[in-house]
């Protein structure tokens, strides 16, 4: 299933797909992708994000306890592009806002799928970037998926907009692959594992870090396909018109 051109439809149609994709990822996580002491909750908010997928852990539990069918990788993920912050993630204009606990449990990671509303005005865009930086500053691992091409607020993509807050030599987005997938690993330094794709290309699995040097792979292609299958045929024909 190739990535579709979501600029063909208005934001409300994409939002319906966005909701289903989030739900599919949450189901996949809770059906065995996560270690036993971890669980995912869609439709929550953390540090201003939402409604996307939070990965939570019981603060009384032991890290990576047995359970489920999770395969926890401790080798570095292989991605096309890689970046590392020069020091611990601190913005030049650091915020003091703390990430809150959710229902008494500790947030360890978050998956965010970008929406048009995150980019359609300066205030929304700045708030999105600020909240991404807050999560990284507080060592919340983050997986960002941006199905939309760069615009005037992010001419080099969403990752560059975030990374420019800490690094003077930001990532340069390949023109032929303008859609961004990026996994952030928070430890003594923040590391970014970046893949770029184009409309019409398949989605790679992407790492979601649960701790420094420990990640699972998120099946983006399979969950995207499952979400696509729920879209009404009327809109599937608009988004992916049949060509002769």
Give strand pairing partners of 2. Answer: 202
The string of pLDDT tens digits covering residues 197-234 is: 999 999 999 999 998 889 999 999 999 999 999 999 99
pLDDT computed for residue 176 by the predictor: 92
pLDDT computed for residue 97 by the predictor: 27
pLDDT computed for residue 147 by the predictor: 96
| Residue 159 near residue 166, CB atoms below 8 Å | no
pLDDT computed for residue 96 by the predictor: 29
Tokens of 55: 């990965």
Cβ neighbours of residue 183 closer than 8 Å, sequence gap 6 or more: 77, 79, 141, 142, 143, 144, 192, 193, 206, 207, 208, 209, 215
Give strand pairing partners of 83. Answer: 192
| Residue 214 near residue 38, CB atoms below 8 Å | no
Radius of gyration of the chain (CA): 17
pLDDT computed for residue 89 by the predictor: 57
What is the C-alpha to C-alpha distance for residues 136 and 139, in angstroms, rounded to an integer? 5
Digitized pLDDT (tens) for each residue of the chain, 244 residues in all: 789 999 999 999 999 999 999 999 999 999 999 988 888 887 555 545 555 778 887 654 445 544 445 668 877 887 877 777 766 555 444 332 232 334 467 888 999 999 999 998 999 999 999 989 988 988 899 999 999 999 999 999 999 999 888 777 667 888 899 999 999 999 888 999 999 999 999 999 999 999 888 999 999 999 999 999 999 999 999 998 865 5
Q: For 37-64, b where at least 16 C-beta lie within 10 A, e where not — what string?
A: bbbbbbebebbebbebbbbbbeeeeeeb
How many other CB atoms are found less than 10 A from the CB of residue 108? 20
Residue closest to 228 by CA, chosen among 42, 8, 53, 4: 4
pLDDT computed for residue 70 by the predictor: 60
Residue ranges per structural domain of the chain: 6-236
pLDDT computed for residue 1 by the predictor: 72
Record the pTM: 0.85
Which stretches does DSSP call E strand in the chain? 38-46, 49-57, 81-84, 106-113, 141-146, 179-186, 190-197, 206-211, 214-218
- Which position has the token pair 């934001």? 11
């Amino acid at each position: 299933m190739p990535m579709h051109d979501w600029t063909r439809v208005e934001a409300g149609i994409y939002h319906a797909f966005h909701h289903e994709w989030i739900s599919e990822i949450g189901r996949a996580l809770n059906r065995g992708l996560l270690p036993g002491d971890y669980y995912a909750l869609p439709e929550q908010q953390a540090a201003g994000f939402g409604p996307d997928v939070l990965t939570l852990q019981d603060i009384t539990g032991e890290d990576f306890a047995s359970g489920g069918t999770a395969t926890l990788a401790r080798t570095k993920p292989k991605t096309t592009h890689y970046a590392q912050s020069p020091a611990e993630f601190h913005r030049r204009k650091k915020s003091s806002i703390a990430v809150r606990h959710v229902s008494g449990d500790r947030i360890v990671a978050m998956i965010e799928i970008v929406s048009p509303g995150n980019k359609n005005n300066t205030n929304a865009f700045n708030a999105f970037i600020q909240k991404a930086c807050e999560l990284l500053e507080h060592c919340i691992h983050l997986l960002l998926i941006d199905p939309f091409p760069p615009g005037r607020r992010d001419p080099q993509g969403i990752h560059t907009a975030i990374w420019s807050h800490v690094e003077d030599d930001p990532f340069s987005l390949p023109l032929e692959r303008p859609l961004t997938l990026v996994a952030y690993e928070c430890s003594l330094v923040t590391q970014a594992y970046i893949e770029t794709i184009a409309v019409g290309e398949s989605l790679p699995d992407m790492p979601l870090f649960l701790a420094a040097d420990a990640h699972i792979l998120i099946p983006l292609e399979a969950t995207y396909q499952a979400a696509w299958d729920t879209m009404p045929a009327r809109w599937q024909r608009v988004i992916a018109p049949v060509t002769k």
